[in-house]
Structure 1
Amino acid sequence: MQKLISGILISSCILTILSCNKDEAYDIYAVPLYVPILESMNMPRPEGSYNYPVIPNTKEWIKLNDREQMVDVCQINKSVVKAMSTQAVIQALWEYPLYADFFAWENTQKGYEFVYEELNVFQELKKRSDAASCLLYRYQRVAEKHKKHAFAHYLLEMHLAQNYFISQLNTDEKKAVVKRALEIFTIRQQDPEFTDTFMAIDITFYLVGRIMIHDQYKPFVDKLSIKPGWEKLFTEHVYNFYRSQDEANEFLETITSMANDYIKK
């Protein structure tokens, strides 16, 4: 329930804070909430990036009656997305006004699918053979800690955790993703302001585990066979096991140790 409330608050903040001075044309760098979103990338905004014609807190947005209309007005024409570079396609997802709605779901994977599967730009990303490598490029650069966009890395981790993107990665790239995930987790755990153990299990280690499962890394697969509660995190995105702090700690110690061994193999 706490996660659900937090997710709703995040989305509400996006809908409230995003603003611009003009309804038809705007400078994205002048939109308040886009500033940390862009800063957290630690890379230039890709050439040819799409500017959504209507964003929250504009006259046009206020006229929209429900979420369905919001999605419709943010839908990018298929002919437009086909002409965009892969990084520009990812950028459109990065700046999507409703991108954080999946945090409002108890089951983050289902929330992710609910938010993104209906978008033309997401369907286009799934067709790109360089999608995973472009996501990895961003993941290696994204800010580990940004006070106004503290969950930036989680967005990339949820993308990278999808099997259709994992399958695009070669062995070295998979190890690079796992190494980066452990690095981000360690950095955040060292700062009480950014320590979020349960969300890290839900997303960061969801990614790490799915990569090891995809690679059929035997020590991890064998461990899951005797820990069905853990396995459900990766198959059904059910994670009741971490209601117990002791169980959560055991899981983190185990998956972290195995992930480090996986990187070295």
Structure 2
Amino acid sequence: MKKIQTLIYTIVLVGLLSCNKDELVIQQGECMPFSISDTYQYPIVPGTDEWADLKSSTEKVQACQIPSSKIKSISTEGLLETLLTYPLILDYGAFNLQQDGFERIKSENNGFDELYDRTDFFNVITERYKLMSLNCDKNYYPPFIGEIETPIQISFQTIEFFMLQDELLNKTNSNQRIQILETVLEKLQAKKDYGISQNENLVSYAILGKIMIKENYSPFVIINDENEIMSGLERIPIGFDSDMLNLIENNAKELKASR
């Protein structure tokens, strides 16, 4: 039944989008890689001789800029896919505070400002995130690392970084933020059941905490003020106190139950 619902959703979504984007085709579903037809194909990518010839990170960044004409014409689905497959997207992992790395990536690639300006970005990223399944294991979702299999938790973590940003959360209303919280809680439980550790799920916990602060959920606001949880967690350090993470999750569940 779940697969049939996913197929129906895909058919309906393609039908709706075709009214405005005649050439856009979207294929997605459980354990079927997302395929958006107007995704920008970077002309130089890792593993090629041309990439090896690039001598600096600056040259690599410049080689991966999206043409301005493409940015304005590409669908939001295609733009998200383009940035998820950005050859330097995983550079955030080289930082002790990974949010610092993601902010640098956002500032370097010219597609991010456009993405967060799109009025349909909330719908696009939440629907995509909901359809991602841990049953698909490795290398089904971007980012991809050449011939190396990408662990499934990296795929979830990367799209969650897109959701963590204030550029999205500050533009959403209360109902939308609760939708994100509920979905992140669901995925967090699935990842825990899969065996993914708390420290590999820090972006999930950070999203939950930021939403509770933005919703002014007083039980968590008080705890956060007393322990200064989010001042450290939202930068996404290498590790974090397990008891504090449990507090975040329990409070998020209580907020969800109260709605």
Normalising by structure 2, what TM-score? 0.77
RMSD: 2.2
Q: 8 Å contact 2:126–2:180 — kept in the other structure?
A: yes
Match of 1:106 among 96, 99, 120: 96
Match of 1:257 among 242, 250, 257: 250
Match in the other structure for 1:158: 161
Alignment of structure 1 residues 1-265 onto 2, 5 Å: 42=32, 44-144=34-134, 146-147=137-138, 148-149=149-150, 150=152, 151-192=154-195, 195-200=196-201, 202-228=202-228, 230-234=229-233, 237=236, 242=240, 247-248=241-242, 250-264=243-257, 265=259
Secondary structure of the corresponding residue to residue 226 of structure 1: helix
Q: Tell me, in whole angstroms, the C-alpha distance in 2 between the residues paired with 1:91 and 1:126.
A: 14
Q: 8 Å contact 2:30–2:132 — kept in the other structure?
A: yes
Q: 8 Å contact 2:206–2:230 — kept in the other structure?
A: no
Runs of 5+ consecutive residues of structure 2 not aligned to the other structure: 1-27, 139-148
Q: CA deviation at 1:121?
A: 0.9
Q: Tell me, in whole angstroms, the C-alpha distance in 1 between the residues paired with 2:231 and 2:30.
A: 32
Q: CA deviation at 1:56?
A: 1.2
Secondary structure of the corresponding residue to residue 56 of structure 1: coil
Moved more, 39-48 or 117-126: 39-48
Moved more, 230-239 or 46-55: 230-239
How many positions carry a matched residue from both structures? 218
Q: CA deviation at 1:41?
A: 8.0
Match in the other structure for 1:21: none
Q: CA deviation at 1:191?
A: 2.9
Q: Tell me, in whole angstroms, the C-alpha distance in 1 between the residues paired with 2:30 and 2:48.
A: 24
Q: Tell me, in whole angstroms, the C-alpha distance in 2 between the residues paired with 1:113 and 1:40.
A: 30
Q: CA deviation at 1:167?
A: 2.4
The runs of at least 4 consecutive aligned structure 1 residues that moved more than 2 Å come to 38-44, 143-149, 167-173, 233-240
Secondary structure of the corresponding residue to residue 106 of structure 1: coil
Q: CA deviation at 1:105?
A: 0.8
Q: CA deviation at 1:231?
A: 3.0
Q: CA deviation at 1:203?
A: 1.0
Q: 8 Å contact 1:54–1:74 — kept in the other structure?
A: yes
| Identity score, percent | 23
Q: 8 Å contact 1:49–1:91 — kept in the other structure?
A: yes
